[in-house]
Structure 1
């Protein structure tokens, strides 16, 4: 009997991701490249791919436009990823990842995407709200295309019953600031967005803890997760801050963080849908992000690697009544 999908992901600004590899990037002449992969991408599509890799079931709702949009649909069909497209009148964007074998660095080049007209984004909103009623979990993630009002995601949250559908957010900029006082089950912040909210860089667990305090202080978000690069992440709720130390990884050539955040969100939501508590789900997400960093381009983790790395994730819990300075002094080795 097929597994019924429990997770709906939304990608308002998807891509066709073209992953290339060169021996060494040079500033003159042509850089001869090897094509590693061509696949559908964008936050929600990547999250759905992660859920499926872990054995779960998700449906990716996404915009698609003109020739590139048709290519996106074909790529997702060939991959066997459950998806549904919302037609728009402009081409879906294409993005390029260039991995340099010599240095092990990857460069992710992403255009802004097609601007949505008012009727198009209104149609997207209706499609999201209608579809979400059939799913226990909704993941709103990834960049948004030009033309969307700043409160687009906030309006989606206002129209969704949180008792019926848990919402996991991984959004940025004006969209993020507009949702902070709306009801959501969880928000994930990367270092850049957290730094923008906090007004200083996110370099230590204590910084991420402060960012989570700011989000939780708005009173409507149940769980806040801020990542701290290779250190790991802090997962916070109304009672505690959990500092999750990521596993130490060997250096591998052509590693990439292009899908690390999506991997965390995908694994986190997969575990929630499977009945795990938020802390265990986040630990699993940190392991998944680490496993993805070991992969080139936009490749995501292998499930076996996630299971292995999960044993190496270390969690230190700090009561929310403890000040960040005191917590830092108590666990300075983790900073």
Structure 2
């Protein structure tokens, strides 16, 4: 599910300067946003997925065309505002990428209801529903909670990767798995997420609240901590030979790989270890590029897994 998709325009320039013009190579344009990226990652791994997204006027129709040309299964739900456009600038001199993302359209009550009904009608056909990506401006804070409640009796497992305002309302409903980035995790426990200990504390917060039985909090280049009611698992990220280049799509790569591995019958801890490898493979690439399947397999062998009992 992508409530706030983007048209991502990626440009590469030798070196950014503050005066004159920054000449760039021919831009790469593709559809983006959390759920679209997750669906793309699942397909890249050999799985099947449907990207359900909002579609706003002419930019939304352009998004449709981009996804059709990519042959990515998707379904658009019309809204009154324009689908947003985001820009990624990759600088060759430093190897860094800069992601500039506007807030997106504001959804009226009719837009929200239309999308909620589309998700509720579609989700029962699938094993997993992934709610991920940015919320739209001034979206009612219980919108994602309404979606979770709407699919509660369908047998579809819900995976969340959403920001704090929406997440706090969802915590009153149990879902299959919750993934948090450092910003969202920090807002929940009231301190920066800088270590595995911080990630464990965040997962404890989610598990103690009864919001999920599977929690994973990422800690940047360190990796992630995956937790169950019984144990914590430190997942140490592999060292990248060429260093990091861009964290765009890293979280989406992790979730895509976790979902795909679960559908293949892996345990959740093994799926999360593969997810850390996929995130690392994506971080090694410039702009909004996502991992290559072979790189995930290679890097998975270098992911360290350490288990500790959650309760003494």
TM-score, normalized by length of structure 1?
Answer: 0.91
Q: Is the 1:104–1:252 contact (alpha carbons within 8 Å) kept by the matching residues of 2?
A: no
Given candidates 48, 54, 57, the residue that maps to 1:63 is 54
CA contact 1:204–1:228 (8 Å) conserved in 2? yes
Unaligned residue ranges in structure 2 (runs of 5+): none
1:95 to 86, 92, 95: 86
Change (3 A) 1:289 1:162: farther
1:260 aligns with 2:250: yes
| Distance apart, 1:206 and its partner CA | 0.6
**Aligned residue pairs, count:** 312
Classify the secondary structure of the residue corresponding to 2:248: coil
Q: CA deviation at 1:173?
A: 2.4
What do you get for the CA RMSD once the two structures are aligned? 1.1
CA distance in structure 1 between the partners assigned to 2:64 and 2:210 by the alignment: 39
Tell me the CA shift for residue 11 of structure 1: 0.2
Tell me how far 1:198 sits from its aligned partner. Answer: 1.1
> In the TM superposition, what whole-angstrom CA distance separates every residue of 1:82-120 from its partner, at most 9, and x where no partner exists?
000001122100000011111111110000001111001
Q: Secondary structure at the match of 1:157?
A: helix
Query: Is 1:313–2:270 an aligned residue pair?
Result: no
Select 1:109's aligned residue among 100, 106, 111. 100
TM-score by length of 2: 0.98
2:74 aligned partner: 83
**3-state SS, counterpart of residue 35 of structure 1:** coil
Give unmatched runs, 5+ long, in structure 1: 1-9, 323-335
1:235–1:282 Cα contact (<8 Å) kept:
yes
The Cα offsets for residues 117-160 of structure 1, whole Å up to 9 and x where unpaired, read as 10010110011011111111000000011242101001111121
- Kindly state the Cα deviation for residue 36 of structure 1 after the two structures are TM-superposed: 4.5
CA contact (8 A) 2:95 2:286 kept: no
Q: Is residue 205 of structure 2 the alignment partner of residue 214 of structure 1? A: yes
Structure 1 contact 162–183 (Cα < 8 Å) conserved: no
For residues 312 and 150 of structure 1, what CA distance do their matches in structure 2 show? 39
The 5 Å alignment of 1:141-180 reads: 141-161=132-152, 164-180=155-171
Distance 1:88 1:273 in 2: 32
Equivalent position of 1:203 in the other structure: 194
Query: Per-residue displacement from partner, 1:188-237 (whole Å, max 9, x unpaired)?
Result: 00011111111111111011000100111101311110000000000001
1:181/1:221 contact within 8 Å kept: no
What is the alpha-carbon distance in structure 1 between the residues aligned to residue 48 and residue 134 of structure 2? 23
Contact 2:246 2:288 survives alignment (8 Å): yes
Residue 124 of structure 2 contacts residue 154 of structure 2 at CA under 8 Å; is this kept in 1?
A: no
Alpha-carbon contact 1:268-1:284 (below 8 Å) kept = yes
TM-superposed CA distance for 1:242, in Å, is 0.4
C-alpha separation between the residues in 1 aligned to 2:76 and 2:138? 19
Q: In structure 2, what is the Cα distance between the partners aligned to 1:158 and 1:222?
A: 17
1:35 aligns with 2:33: no
